[in-house]
Amino acid sequence: MQDVSEGILVLRKNRVKSNTSQQFALRSTMPYHRFFKIILCIGLSLIFTACSSVNPTISDNTTTTTPTIIATPPSQSVANRVVSLTSLAADIIYQLDQNKLVGIAGSSLLNQDERFANIPRVGEGRTPPNLEKIVALKPDLVIGAEGFSNQIINRLTELNIPTILTKVDSWQGLTELTKNLASKINADPQPLLQRYQGFLSSNQNSNFSALVLVSNQPILSPNKSSWAGDLLAQFQIRNIAAELQGKSPIQGYVTLSAEKVLEANPETLLVVNSPFGERLLDNFQKEPFWSKIKATQNQRIFEFDYYGLVNPGSINSIEKACQQLREITQKSA
């Protein structure tokens, strides 16, 4: 999930500063190569796919995707010294067996969690992990994110250090990753898997559609091939952008014009705030089309944290997002 999340963060940090009319012109006329430069402007070498310019349609189909879990080289039967380069894997390992986690890549989520205060850092934020620091910890397993940690993982593989590259963009991906990591460290995954199931609604029949908005320049919304899209499906919320496809630098997300949002006229809007503290709703409220949407008129706008809905982030973040979705479905019953 790191690759998608990084792309969205870059979009947010590199918005074009303009007045409202210029913003609308930008969305409709900005050449694709200029749009692509927004993604690449801070030096990310990641290239993604999937976006749309077709009409939004409502779909309640649930998609099951297979998580990416690549292990190289073959590791020993049980790992006892694990370094995690992702916050989610670090949290999973810690909850399976806290004694096995010997190093992490620092992030805002982990730095705010006192459980990880005394665990050595091998990197911080989007700074590449330090190879020497990782090797010094003598790990027998290093966990990275597909599309984000590939370079450092390849170097560790050359040193014959067992590694795993992971990608979680669905609920099934979360459960499969948990099972896989549990097997690597010889831990029982069932208590954690049972906790996951407790996050979901039981016998909840949602009867409404929703549109998730994660950026306003351009307007980005997750389709079914994303963590956010799959999470909505788990709560039987009809995602307006679920079936949309097209060309985009961010896999699992589609771009929408203001006109397309108005055409879809969602009855519920889920607006995702930036992890940097920016309130996305403030930006949308300045747009002329915003007051014309059914969700705005009926006060059906709900704000979400970035971690949990867009980026799984941690188990606690996932639980919080699920709690919000459960409350929304209950209000709509």
Q: What is the pLDDT of residue 275?
A: 84
User: Does any domain span residue 300?
Assistant: yes
Q: 106 pLDDT exceeds 50?
A: yes
Q: For residue 25, give every residue at least 6 positions away whose Cβ sits within 8 Å of its Cβ, in sequence order, or none.
A: none
Question: Does residue 40 sit within a domain?
Answer: yes
Task: Tell me, yes or no, whether 327 and 261 share the same domain.
Answer: yes
Q: Mean pLDDT of all residues in the chain?
A: 80
Residues 59 and 22 in one domain: yes
What confidence category does residue 333 fall into, taking pLDDT thresholds of 50, 70 and 90? low
Residue 35 belongs to a domain: yes
With CA atoms as reference, report the closest residue to 303 among 276, 264, 273.
273
Q: Which of 142, 167, 192 is the last residue of a domain?
A: 167
Pair 1, 227: CB distance under 8 Å:
yes
Do 22 and 99 lie in a common domain? no
Query: 260 and 319: one domain?
Result: yes
Cβ distance 52 to 244 under 8 Å? Answer: yes
Does residue 185 lie within any of the structural domains? no
226 and 248 inside one domain = yes
Whole-number percent of the chain with pLDDT over 70: 74
193 within a domain of the structure (yes/no):
no
- 39 and 26 together in one domain: yes
137 plus 224 within the same structural domain: no
CA-closest candidate to residue 142, choices 212, 201, 73, 60? 73
Final residue of a domain: which of 167, 182, 215?
A: 167
Are 210 and 276 part of one and the same domain? Answer: yes
Q: Is residue 188 included in any domain, yes or no?
A: no
Please tell me the distance from the alpha carbon of residue 35 to that of residue 26, in angstroms, as a whole number.
10
Is pLDDT of 22 > 60? no
Residue 97 placed within a domain: yes
Nearest to 23 by CA among 217, 309, 261: 217
Q: Over the stretch 227-257, which tens digit does the pLDDT of each residue have?
A: 999 999 999 999 999 998 866 668 899 999 9
Q: DSSP state, 145?
A: E
Residues 51, 89: one domain? no
User: Does 190 fall in a domain?
Assistant: no
Q: Which two tokens stand for residue 8?
A: 């969205």
Structural domain boundaries enclosing 111: 68-167
On whether both 131 and 78 belong to a single domain, the answer is yes
Total tally of structural domains belonging to the chain: 2
CATH of the domain at 85: 3.40.50.1980
Quick check: bond before 162 cis, omega within 30? no
Give tens-digit pLDDT for 141-173. 999 998 889 999 999 999 999 999 999 999 999
pLDDT, tens only, 175-188: 999 999 999 999 99
User: What percentage of the chain carries pLDDT values higher than 90?
Assistant: 64
pLDDT by residue (tens digit) across 27-83? 333 333 333 333 332 223 222 222 222 233 333 333 444 444 555 545 457 999 999
The residue out of 119, 140, 167 marking a domain boundary is 167
Do 217 and 327 sit in the same domain of this protein?
yes
- pLDDT recorded at residue 47: 25
In terms of domains, do 59 and 153 share one?
no
- Measured between its terminal Cα atoms, the distance across the chain in Å is 31
